[in-house]
């Protein structure tokens, strides 16, 4: 629990349990559980989840992340897209978020698997909006194109932290590469482009402001900013508890830059993703967002 901020627990415990049972039965993973998200009870209680495809072993080693690291033991399961789409129908999801670990071991970084999942969901339940939270595909533009051709409503890619801390916090990643990916999505698709970061990793408030400017310049429409929480002693320590006034100042700065900034201690990149998309569409009076 963060100072005075407790995760919400809507829905009955049985409902949350029901979601878990269905996911296990379908052989599906969620980043909610694997990354120990503080909002898991709220989201499962609201019958929503962020699906984690292509296994739970990541080829990167971000210092804040609780997900297992190493050499993924198996190739992606080609049947996963069908099972995921079936779960979307079973859980009656109006909006679905799909993410993955980083699979640098795959020639396309897993892009074909993301594309198959979007295609399968749109085939079985066209009214469901799809948000994909993608890795950086090691900068391969053709991989992102493969995903965008399936027309996800939201293309999300987290920059996670400010420029000065990337090497320390996200080894193997680069802010330049992430901004280029977001710009490609904004320039070549109708998807709402979204990104996210965590604070409390050692950044200065001014560095976050600068990053918001870079994200707006890259064509982002939505940015999520949340307080980093240490999942276990294995991950890097929390450097500070960020004040509500800082979150509020980033919301205002974002607004002045044309960004829809969702910022608060428990905010995570796919937290209330449907509500965020609906709010953006409402604000823009269009079904596109």
Rounded to 5 degrees, φ, ψ at 255 are -60, -40
Place of tokens 């929480």: 229
Stretch that binds ligand SF4, among 61-69, 116-124, 146-154, 180-188 (CB under 6 A): 61-69
Stretch that binds ligand SF4, among 54-62, 110-118, 193-201, 278-286 (CB under 6 A): 54-62
Instruction: Report the candidate in 179, 94, 96 with the shortest Cα–Cα distance to residue 144.
Output: 179
Q: Confirm or reject binding of residue 60 to ligand SF4 (CB under 6 A).
A: yes
Q: Confirm or reject binding of residue 134 to ligand SF4 (CB under 6 A).
A: no
Q: How many other CB atoms are found less than 10 A from the CB of residue 255?
A: 11
The distance of closest approach from Cβ of residue 71 to ligand SF4 in the complex, given in angstroms and rounded to an integer, is 13
Q: Confirm or reject binding of residue 67 to ligand SF4 (CB under 6 A).
A: yes
Q: Decide: 254 and 260 in contact? Cβ < 8 Å.
A: yes
Rounded to 5 degrees, φ, ψ at 57 are -110, 120
The distance of closest approach from Cβ of residue 101 to ligand SF4 in the complex, given in angstroms and rounded to an integer, is 4
Q: How far is CA 207 from CA 79, 183, 201, 211, in A?
A: 43, 20, 12, 6
Q: Confirm or reject binding of residue 143 to ligand SF4 (CB under 6 A).
A: no
Q: Among 29, 62, 185, 215, which residue interacts with ligand SF4 (rule: CB under 6 A)?
A: 62
Q: Confirm or reject binding of residue 229 to ligand SF4 (CB under 6 A).
A: no
The distance of closest approach from Cβ of residue 247 to ligand SF4 in the complex, given in angstroms and rounded to an integer, is 22
Task: Give 29 or 280: the residue with its C-beta nearer to ligand SF4.
Answer: 29
Rounded to 5 degrees, φ, ψ at 238 are -75, 130
The distance of closest approach from Cβ of residue 118 to ligand SF4 in the complex, given in angstroms and rounded to an integer, is 20
**Termini Cα distance of the chain:** 33
Instruction: Report the candidate in 171, 108, 98 with the shortest Cα–Cα distance to residue 139.
Output: 108
Q: Confirm or reject binding of residue 58 to ligand SF4 (CB under 6 A).
A: yes
Chain residues binding ligand SF4 by CB under 6 A are 58, 60-62, 65, 67, 101-102, 135
């Amino acid at each position: 629990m963060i100072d005075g901020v407790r995760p919400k627990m809507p829905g009955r415990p049985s409902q949350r349990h029901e979601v878990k049972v269905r996911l296990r039965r379908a052989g599906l993973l969620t980043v909610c559980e694997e990354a120990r998200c503080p909002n898991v009870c709220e989201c499962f209680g609201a019958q929503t989840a962020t699906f984690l495809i292509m296994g739970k072993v990541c080829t990167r080693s971000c210092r804040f992340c609780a997900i297992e690291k190493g050499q993924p033991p198996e190739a992606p399961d080609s049947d996963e897209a069908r099972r995921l789409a079936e779960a979307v129908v079973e859980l009656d999801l109006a909006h679905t978020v799909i993410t993955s670990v980083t699979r640098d071991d795959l020639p396309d970084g897993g892009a074909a698997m993301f594309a198959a999942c979007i295609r399968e969901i749109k085939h079985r339940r066209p009214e469901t909006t799809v948000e994909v939270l993608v890795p950086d595909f090691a900068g391969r533009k053709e991989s992102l194109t493969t995903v965008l051709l399936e027309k996800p409503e939201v293309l999300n890619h987290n920059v996670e932290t400010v420029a000065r801390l990337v090497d320390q916090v996200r080894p193997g990643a680069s802010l330049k590469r992430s901004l280029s990916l977001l710009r490609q999505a904004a320039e070549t698709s109708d998807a709402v482009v979204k990104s996210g970061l965590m604070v409390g990793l050692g950044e200065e408030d001014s560095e976050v402001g600068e990053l918001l400017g870079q994200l707006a310049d890259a064509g982002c429409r939505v940015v999520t900013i949340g307080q980093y929480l240490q999942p276990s002693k294995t991950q890097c320590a929390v450097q500070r508890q960020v004040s509500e006034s800082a979150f509020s100042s980033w919301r205002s700065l974002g607004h002045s830059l044309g960004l829809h900034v969702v910022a608060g201690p428990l905010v995570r990149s796919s937290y209330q993703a449907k509500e965020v998309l609906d709010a953006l569409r409402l604000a823009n009076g269009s079904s596109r967002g």
